[in-house]
Structure 1
Amino acid sequence: MTDSKAPARPPQVTMAGWVTVVGSLFMLVNVFGVVSRLRSLDTRENVTDALSRDPLKGTGIDLEQALSLMHGTALVAGATAAAAAILGWFVLQRNHHARVALSVIALPLFFSGLVAGGFVSSMIAVSVVILWGRPARDWFNGVTPPERPQRVAPPEQGDAPWQAPTPPPEQGPRAFEGFGSKPVEQPGPVAQRPTPGAGRPREVVQACAFTWAMCGTAVLGLLMVLVGFALSPELVKEVYESDSRFAESDISLSALRTAAIVVSIVFALWSVAAMVVAWFAFRGAGWARILLIVSAAVAAAFSLATAISSPPMLVVTGVAVFTVVRLTQPPSVAWFAEKDRERREARR
């Protein structure tokens, strides 16, 4: 269902498609984690506590029924997430049926995704809505958007040698100045129109979109951790008592709480800074590209090191490596170099 003569893909579609693919894979990993921990003692205690309080109190649902319901919902979430990842890829290839099918499963994916957190499924639902915006509709229908008029820059010295125009042939004797007909005015030099710069490469759009999606998810998760620490001081105590390694290392409960808060704040600020740097890189700033590559490389190394104890961190590793690769590919390098050259010439 693709067309080689189709217009260029809008950035909105690129961002929505890749957010759908990456978000679905991330959600799939979360669902596997939920299912693996569903019958654990901690989960059973949490579900029992939730059933004993409003609004679930008095509904008549017992522990086994609640666990079975969560298991079924997790299976639906996993199936829809896997389908959304595949459909999101075909949406990027301008497949009309994939867009319709993705819109159909968006609603069950959103509600079933609540069992795995809810934020990722919300991002996917928003991305599906973006796929029905006007730029996306025009692209799927093969409609080329009207081009914006290019601003003509004044000619600069040394750009190209100027050739004087050929004077028109004279039809009779040249009139003396002040007598007879007015002499024919010679046309002035014609300014050459500069070649418009190349558009933003797809590699840059994808790298920035992945950075915004992953960092936004990280910021929201870390804020939820900080709010949980503030509203439920017993949360740190439960984590401390559930892992024997803390007791063996002689780390006090207060030290663990302080370290968790500091680490959460540092990573949240890092994520926000990466999102800001990605915006400058999206605008063509070369320094932002370098900083974003360094940030993604550090994130890839850190997440890979922590993936031994937390396998879902491999998603962060994949996104970080993808960002580094896309920003170091020739189209990205050439585009940033062109942007830097334009800025230097504008300051002259």
Structure 2
Amino acid sequence: MSDPNAGRPRQVTLAGWMLMAGSALAVLLVADRLSALHSLESRQAVEQFLSREPGSGLGLDVDGALSLIRTAAMVTAGCATAAGILGYQVLRRSRSARLAVTVLAVPIFLAGMVTGGFVTSVIAASAAILWLQPARAWFDGTTPPERPAAVAAPTPGGASPASPAASVPAAPGAAAYPRDERRPGAVLWACVLTWVATGVTLFGLAGSGVVLAVRTDVMLDEAHRQSPDLAAQGVTDQMLVVATYLLIGGIGLWCLAAAGIALFVLRGAAWARIVLLVSAAAASAACLVGAAVGAVVLLLPLGASVATIALLLRSEVGLWFNRPPLRR
């Protein structure tokens, strides 16, 4: 059986490991940033930034700026978690993972400025390296272009010497895998976990929507208790209710999409495996942040997401998804 890592350029290995290590470090930096976000030092730093250009032209107060920083930090954590998973797939010669991690590098670089910007810049640079030679040729399964060689002088007999490149056989294409139609059990378990987790989440969202519709005052009282200055910031009760419904609807659509993608994973679609890995990684990051602020119930979907990622990253699963299509 051919090894998908055969002939992997050193720059791809370096970029893949930098993606994984940088993403892990970025998540840790986000956790540290969020833990100290409401400290006195942070508020003073934000006040100082907003008191002079260019911060004074943003039209934000301290609380609004802190909310913006919190949102950017959570976006960074979610995207970095997905990029770390994709970094492993990049080392397995996945072209879809290379494309996905390149797309994620943009919000990681921009939103990651709240963590200092250095680590997220390394992640973005690592994604860019994957599109340079010889990495691009390795992903395409071709031979990287060679520098033009000097033309050798003709031999006394008049015949030109054979070019060294002419005697070298063309490099084979992408690594070949023997087709195995037997689906690994880990694929089925990953799909089952996805369906169970999304089903339970949808049930909880439906219950939350019913409670919100019947006992709206309870939700509003709790929101005002946790953030007494909402009215001073111009946030009305109607805005809170609409935002909560939108949040419930958005998470519900995410669950439905993940459940549908799991069907394609079960059928052996390689792109669906990558998408489900990214979805599970983003869900893990969101659940981790929620559990860190006190929502202990999110530890259950966190465990399901981590288990799904571990199952989809098993070596036999990767070989099954990378098998060539059956020729008829």
- Which TM-score bucket, shorter chain as reference? 0.3 to 0.5
Larger Rg: 1
**Higher-RCO chain (CA-CA 8 Å, sequence separation at least 6):** 2
